[in-house]
């Protein structure tokens, strides 16, 4: 009996071993799945270092459907429409009227012929709150009906000394002291959000602010009270907070005046203004606020008409320098957004080039938008002619237009 019992026990053990062997193949897929899951979770974390994060923030991926939509729009546009979109001009340059309120038909007729990318409003174009609100609405409707794109409706509303709306006695909006008297991030954020709120209410979507210049030359009367400080790091911090404030209201922002107007002598409104700094000196001071502003998500950068002979090699204004725009701003500072000139009717430009040549040369240098040429019709015709002759490459025009339309897409 004892022998039979031991035999049965042995058989049961053998059966258990056999069963385990039969079940073992099921473990293999489970092990494979566990390994794959581990790779999916852990490997991205290993490579997700600071450099990866920085690059991702600097150049966010464009939604493929958005890119396709913009490319399709560009393809269907005529050359004349493409060239017109490269300009931001005053209401009177487009229509002959300073005040667009009550002149809707003139605007529509002019815009049908020249569907410009945007308009800029000065004090003389702004009368009352109701009139400017209706005028900007008229502009948007005309643009959407004619070309199916929103219009960039812009203004210089820096706060303090330069404030087209806040300094108009017909408007009851938040007013701020001169920028050199504002030195905390909280106050500057409030400046951006407050200005952004009333700009959005009156129909504006683009402000030529913040000023990113570092004021280091006491004889400089252009920047003076418009700059936050002579401390580059502080200017960078305040510019960042101002951009954040504007973004809460959906207002596009512009860093100005690149590569830095704070150390110059002379007034570009009247003629050439110079800085004798070299590239290394500008990297250690002037570029700091611009770099921080770019990292904060500034939408545009405005190029100054200043001369930096120790960088460029001669007196050529920066707005016509490929080295400044393509090499320094685009490559070194990695700015991916829209580049715009300062007003092309300034003395620094008209003394250097004629109105027609200035527009073409600025586009050659790498600018995307031409602001306020001295003679819009002449500049428009010159750009059109330069593209047709091959002096300006069609692919470069399309690339600038892509950046502009991507900016406009963000407004929707």
Number of domains in the chain: 2
* Count of beta carbons in the 10 Å neighbourhood of residue 371: 24
Residues 226 and 353 in one domain: yes
Residues 124 and 273 in one domain: yes
Q: Is residue 288 part of a domain?
A: yes
Mean pLDDT of 41-56: 37
**Residue 269 a catalytic site member:** yes
Mean pLDDT of 217-242: 93
Residues 106 and 209 in one domain: yes
pTM: 0.84
What are the structure tokens assigned to 348, written together? 């620094």
pLDDT band for position 48 (cuts 50, 70, 90):
very low
How remote is the C-alpha of 222 from its chain's centroid? 23
pLDDT band for position 162 (cuts 50, 70, 90):
very high
Q: Is residue 54 part of a domain?
A: no
| From 156, 207, 342, 375, active-site residue | 342
How remote is the C-alpha of 133 from its chain's centroid? 24
Q: Is residue 53 part of a domain?
A: no
Q: Is residue 341 part of a domain?
A: yes
Distance CA(408)–CA(405), nearest Å, equals 5
Across-strand partners of 89? 119
Residue 31 pLDDT exceeds 80: no
Q: Is residue 52 part of a domain?
A: no
302 contacts 255 by C-beta, under 8 angstroms: yes
Residues 14 and 103 in one domain: no
Q: Are strands 206-207 and 300-303 parallel, antiparallel or unpaired?
A: unpaired
DSSP assignment letter at 265: B
**Residue 257 a catalytic site member:** no
Residue 40 pLDDT exceeds 70: no
What mean pLDDT is reported for the chain? 88
Give percent of the chain with pLDDT exceeding 90: 77
What is the reported pLDDT for 412? 79
Residues 7 and 137 in one domain: no
Residue 57 pLDDT exceeds 50: no
Taken as a whole, the chain contains a residue count of 412
Residues 139 and 82 in one domain: yes
Mean pLDDT of 71-85: 98
Residues 107 and 143 in one domain: yes
Residues 145 and 213 in one domain: yes
pLDDT band for position 28 (cuts 50, 70, 90):
low
Counts for the chain of helices (H) and strands (E), in that order: 18, 10
What is the reported pLDDT for 61? 54
Give percent of the chain with pLDDT exceeding 70: 85
What is the reported pLDDT for 55? 35
Q: What is the DSSP string of 161-183?
A: TEETTTTSTT--------GGG--
Residues 152 and 71 in one domain: yes
Listed in order, strand segments (DSSP E) in 55-189 are 87-89, 118-121, 152-155, 157-159, 162-163
What is the reported pLDDT for 219? 84
Dihedral over Cα of 110, 111, 116, 117: its sign: positive
Residues 97 and 34 in one domain: no
Task: Burial-class residue 357 by CB neighbours within 10 Å (0-12, 13-18, 19+).
Answer: middle
What are the structure tokens assigned to 188, written together? 């500057």
Q: Is residue 60 part of a domain?
A: no
**Omega before 210 within 30 of 0, i.e. cis:** yes
pLDDT band for position 186 (cuts 50, 70, 90):
very high
Backbone angles phi, psi at 120, to 5 degrees: -120, 135
Residues 262 and 390 in one domain: yes
Residues 326 and 378 in one domain: yes
pLDDT in tens, 104-141: 999 999 999 999 999 999 999 999 999 999 999 999 99
Q: Are strands 162-163 and 254-258 parallel, antiparallel or unpaired?
A: unpaired
What is the reported pLDDT for 24? 52
| From 269, 327, 396, 398, active-site residue | 269
Q: Is residue 58 part of a domain?
A: no
Mean pLDDT of 377-392: 98
Burial 83-122 (b: 16+ CB within 10 A, else e): bbbbbbbbbbbbbeeebbbebbeebeebbeebbbbbbbbe
What is the reported pLDDT for 189? 98
Q: Is residue 55 part of a domain?
A: no
pLDDT in tens, 324-383: 999 999 999 999 999 999 999 998 898 888 778 999 999 999 999 999 999 999 999 999
Expressed as residue numbers, the domain containing 34 is 2-45
Contacts of 197 (CB under 8 A, 6+ apart): 249
What are the structure tokens assigned to 248, written together? 């809460």
pLDDT band for position 396 (cuts 50, 70, 90):
very high
What is the reported pLDDT for 340? 98
What is the reported pLDDT for 50? 38
What is the reported pLDDT for 33? 55
Cα-Cα-Cα-Cα torsion 169, 175, 178, 183, nearest 10 degrees, comes to 180
Q: What is the CATH number of the domain that holds 291?
A: 3.20.20.300
């Amino acid at each position: 009996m004892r022998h039979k019992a031991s035999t049965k026990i042995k058989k049961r053990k053998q059966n258990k071993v056999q069963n385990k062997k039969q079940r073992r193949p099921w473990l293999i897929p489970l092990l494979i799945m566990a390994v794959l899951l581990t790779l999916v979770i852990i490997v991205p974390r290993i490579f997700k270092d600071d450099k990866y994060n920085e690059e991702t923030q600097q150049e966010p991926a464009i939604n493929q459907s958005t890119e396709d939509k913009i490319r399709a729009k560009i393809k269907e546009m005529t050359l004349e429409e493409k060239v017109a979109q490269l300009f931001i001009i005053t209401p009177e340059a487009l229509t002959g009227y300073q005040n667009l309120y009550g002149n809707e038909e003139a605007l529509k007729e002019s815009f049908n012929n020249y569907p410009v990318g945007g308009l800029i409003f000065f004090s003389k174009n702004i009368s009352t709150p109701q009139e400017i609100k209706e005028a900007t609405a008229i502009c948007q409707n005309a643009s959407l009906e004619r070309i199916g794109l929103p219009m960039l409706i812009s203004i210089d509303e820096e706060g303090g000394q330069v404030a087209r709306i806040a300094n108009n006695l017909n408007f009851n909006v938040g007013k701020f002291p001169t920028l050199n008297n504002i030195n905390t991030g909280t106050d500057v954020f409030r400046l951006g959000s407050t200005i952004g709120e009333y700009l959005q209410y009156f129909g504006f979507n683009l402000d030529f602010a913040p000023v990113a210049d570092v004021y280091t030359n006491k004889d400089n009367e252009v920047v003076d009270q418009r700059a936050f400080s002579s401390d580059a790091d502080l200017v960078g911090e305040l510019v960042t907070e101002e951009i954040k404030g504007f973004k809460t209201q959906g207002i596009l922002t512009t860093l100005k005046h690149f590569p830095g107007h704070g150390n110059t002598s002379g007034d570009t409104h009247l003629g050439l203004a110079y800085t004798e700094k070299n590239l290394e000196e500008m990297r250690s001071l002037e570029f700091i606020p611009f770099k921080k502003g770019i990292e904060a998500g500034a939408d545009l950068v405005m190029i100054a008409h200043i001369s930096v002979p120790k960088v460029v090699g001669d007196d050529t204004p920066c707005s016509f320098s490929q080295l400044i725009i393509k090499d320094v701003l685009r490559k070194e500072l990695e700015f991916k957004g829209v580049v715009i000139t300062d007003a092309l009717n300034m003395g620094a430009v008209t003394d250097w080039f004629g109105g027609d040549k200035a527009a073409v040369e600025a586009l050659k240098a790498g600018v995307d938008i031409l602001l306020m040429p001295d003679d819009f019709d002449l500049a428009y015709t010159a750009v059109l002619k330069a593209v047709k002759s091959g002096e300006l490459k069609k692919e470069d025009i399309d690339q600038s237009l892509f950046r502009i339309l991507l900016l406009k897409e963000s407004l929707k």
